[in-house]
Amino acid sequence: MGMVGGSINSFIGPIHRKAALMDGQIDLVAGAFSYLPEESKATGEALFLNPHRVYDTYDEMFEKEKNLPGDQRIDFVSIVTPNHLHFDPARKALQNGFHVVVEKPMTFTVAEARQLKKVVDKKGLILALTHTYTGYPMVKEAKHLVAAGELGNIRKVYVEYPQGWLSTFLEGTGNAQASWRTDPKRSGAGGAIGDIGTHAANLAEYITGLKITEVCAMLNTTVKGRKLDDDSSMLIKFENGATGVLLATQVAAGDENNLNIRVYGEKGGLEWRQEEPNTLVMKWLNRPREIVRAGWPYLSDAAKGFIRTPAGHPEGYLEAFANIYRAFTNAFFDFKPGRKIDSNKYDFPGIDEGIRGMQFIETVIKSAKSSSKWTKMK
């Protein structure tokens, strides 16, 4: 693995490194960790990397790595930069023959996302998108149960992601995370809706297997001086006629990362909460509800294949992150030039989910500005 971004001063870079290395299948061997050469060098030193493979820019890394012998050069690049710096290194990595793992949202605009898909299709390489929450085993179990028809036809979906960390003007205090995530030049057109709303929408589509077709959205900017939305509420419609509600806010004072989802069908419903990730609650129309726990032997293969510890031993955010890398690695080992890899077969978010995320942001913003009740998602 080579890495773009993720210096020793970053938040998400160390998380990606821990996740990628968890299963012992990946080695970090190179990186352009910062736009500041001295910070990139310091990161390489802290990680005990060969100084000759710690680069000042990602352009330099791609050029020099592709000229190394095949058993020495990087196989893929992990891109962990702010949103506005996702597209260019992803595109250039693919053009130079490297597979890609990239943070969400995948690009800065829908146009960039579509352009990136053309490169992926032309080069025939693998792109994985780190929608982390799809990596939780009980989320995979929920998806399996819906697909198996256990709930019957899906009718209603409630998904919400309340955070409270931006309840004050944190970006005005020098906080690095708040500064770029609330800056339209670095974060993009969406604030909370791009940062966490895309996670909620992706989770709803992943578990139900249904695409969102229309939204009726409201965006708010509640903290004085903030340039992007920090709060959103919307009604949503799905392709089978199901309806739902999606909430994403970063001004829910006192909440941490309280992502949760409820899905209801003709026969019953299910509920999952990110802050209690090893538990899935099944609700039935004509019998008592069930508490399903990670690690139990009766779970589907879809869930068991991503569990590392015995029942009762908690797994969490890092393991879910690592499961994206595990699925990507499985695809990598099966990869052969000229053979297209289907990310759905290996169960990791890919280029299509990346485009969906950008379309979701664009549609929600359009809906919030519109006087019409419903806005179609292309």
Last residue of a domain, one of 98, 125, 152: 125
Q: Are residues 81 and 167 in the same domain?
A: no
Q: Are residues 152 and 106 in the same domain?
A: no
Phi-psi region of 314 (alpha: psi -120 to 50; beta: other; left: phi over 0): beta
Q: Residue 329: inside a domain, yes or no?
A: no
Q: Are residues 199 and 284 in the same domain?
A: yes
Q: Are residues 163 and 88 in the same domain?
A: no
Q: Residue 172: inside a domain, yes or no?
A: yes
Q: Are residues 183 and 286 in the same domain?
A: yes
Which of 302, 274, 308 shows the shortest CA–CA distance to 22?
308
The pLDDT value recorded for residue 305 is 92
Q: Are residues 240 and 96 in the same domain?
A: no
Last residue of a domain, one of 125, 158, 174: 125
Which of 178, 136, 181, 133 shows the shortest CA–CA distance to 159?
133
Q: Are residues 20 and 166 in the same domain?
A: no
Within the chain, strands assigned E span 2-5, 30-32, 76-80, 99-102, 127-129, 154-162, 212-220, 231-238, 243-249, 260-265, 268-273, 279-284, 290-293, 375-376
Q: Residue 348: inside a domain, yes or no?
A: no
Last residue of a domain, one of 108, 125, 142: 125
Q: Residue 316: inside a domain, yes or no?
A: no
Q: Residue 322: inside a domain, yes or no?
A: no
Q: Residue 147: inside a domain, yes or no?
A: yes
Contact between 163 and 135 under an 8 Å Cβ cutoff? The reply is no
Q: Are residues 260 and 149 in the same domain?
A: yes
Specify burial of residue 166 (Cβ count, 10 A radius: 0-12, 13-18, 19+). buried
According to DSSP, the β-strands at 127-129 and 154-162 are unpaired
The number of domains in the chain is 2
> What CATH number has the domain bearing residue 280?
3.30.360.10
Q: Residue 280: inside a domain, yes or no?
A: yes
- pLDDT in tens for each of the 378 residues of the chain? 999 999 998 999 999 999 999 999 999 999 999 999 999 999 999 999 999 999 999 999 999 999 999 999 999 999 999 999 999 999 999 999 999 999 999 999 999 999 999 999 999 999 999 999 999 999 999 999 999 999 999 999 999 999 999 999 999 999 999 999 999 999 999 999 999 999 999 999 999 999 999 999 999 999 999 999 999 999 999 999 999 999 999 999 999 999 999 999 999 999 999 999 999 999 999 999 999 999 888 999 999 999 999 888 888 999 999 999 999 999 999 999 888 889 999 999 999 999 999 999 999 999 999 999 999 998
Alpha carbon distance 298, 376 (integer Å): 40
Which of 25, 26, 23, 30 shows the shortest CA–CA distance to 6?
30
Q: Are residues 109 and 197 in the same domain?
A: no
Its domain, for residue 26, covers: 2-125
The pLDDT value recorded for residue 30 is 98
Phi-psi region of 188 (alpha: psi -120 to 50; beta: other; left: phi over 0): left
Q: Residue 61: inside a domain, yes or no?
A: yes
Q: Are residues 121 and 143 in the same domain?
A: no
The pLDDT value recorded for residue 346 is 95
Q: Are residues 200 and 96 in the same domain?
A: no
Q: Are residues 178 and 259 in the same domain?
A: yes
> What CATH number has the domain bearing residue 61?
3.40.50.720
